[in-house]
Copies of this chain bind each other. A is one copy, B any other.
């Protein structure tokens, strides 16, 4: 298998708050590069670099029309993150069980 261009993990991509905000914007509606840049205080090239990182992580889809570039969220964006996170949700659930157990024991003691 030949990889064209740089690979990059979604985890790295979402580490930066600016990039998370870009994703949040693009999730709502398709946006042009300029529209995105206008939402931030940093320069347009800085945003272009963030967008590149997001594309290399497979999170953004690019559509060109004349000189303009439109960005949309890749349909399965962040599923890899979600998959990794899933066992942690089970962990929280088990923690809640523990709490439930503690509460029930306390109730039993009280009604004894």
Contacts and interface: CB of A to CB of B under 8 A. Distances in A.
Q: How large is the interface on A (under 10, 10 to 19, 20 to 34, 35 or more residues)?
A: 20 to 34
A11 B85 CA distance: 12
Contact of A91 (B12, B73, B88, B91): B73
Interface string A4-19: 0000010110111100
A92 B77 CA distance: 8
A20 B11 contact: yes
Contacts of A84: 20
Interface centre among A14, A75, A76, A88 (most CB of B within 10 A): A88
A14 B16 CA distance: 11
Say what secondary structure dominates the interface of chain A.
helix
Contacts of A45: none
6 closest cross-chain pairs (CB), A and B = A15-B15, A75-B95, A78-B88, A12-B15, A11-B15, A27-B91
Interface of A: 9, 11-12, 14-17, 20, 23-24, 27, 73, 75-79, 81-82, 84-85, 87-89, 91-92, 95
